Structure 1
């Protein structure tokens, strides 16, 4: 109770309200091939950043040649099966050698946030995830996997709460590098 002297300073119940839906990502066929190439390079002593940088560079060069057409064709079929109009248009443009190499996207933070907002991400309400591990994507895991207490991903609207989880992770054997990730999410409001 807020009036009691032994009451907690923060009402933790507010942190565990559902804030949206988090879905596992589904890679396009060409992204899948790139991810396997990165995995192969990392298995042979390349660090994650160098492996991803090398694969992205090779993919950019490959996209300028006719050798990329089968990858873009697979991406086009995949986008059509998922009813992804934007993905289909992007894959179709890539089927013309050099066609996907048009105007570069602006990568400054304002432009990136504007694109995220246009895609339906809630840029005004970021969520925070505290962890002891580094990662570049959130993946679903079985609820009986080691270290899993509840299904899903623990997120908070408050970065300080996420930081507490991150700082406790090494003590619980859940990684050695405490950090907090700021995440954007999309949400569909269900009509009752």
Structure 2
């Protein structure tokens, strides 16, 4: 496996190695010891999976407050998607900035998004399946969000999402970054 630090401190793109032949391929997609040593010393408590039927489906930007703040290890197991992390740690030098990566069943890449970031994605193909590990269980009382197309953040979403975004009512009504109450605070110790 290979871990690549992205522009937002703590966010990584992970590329598992594939071993293929005429039968197909084999890939180790997660190893706890390797992940702790090379990415983050966390424990995962739950795996989630969702299917988005239409290309241009947008889910997010989502996060949970402490004590249920979630780190997410995201991968695409069918189709493809554009996955995004937004830094919402007050006091961070990259507060309000975003990074994104195209994840697909073909490329096998994964995105690690630690707690303190909002997460969202837009599907690039119909019948796209996302699978992700989380470090805390879902808590409706701690569930929060951020408007997916907030111009102050300026995410360069794929054209399919910008033209015909398929959204939940909840995601249409999320607050803009300027209206978001402080949710996380940046700490140098977290990034060391």
Common fold by TM > 0.5: no
Kindly indicate which of the two structures has a greater share of residues assigned to helix.
1
Q: What is the TM-score of this pair, normalised by structure 1?
A: 0.23
Q: Which is richer in strand?
A: 2
**More relative contact order, 1 or 2 (CA 8 Å, 6+ apart):** 2
Using the size of structure 2 for normalisation, the TM-score is 0.23
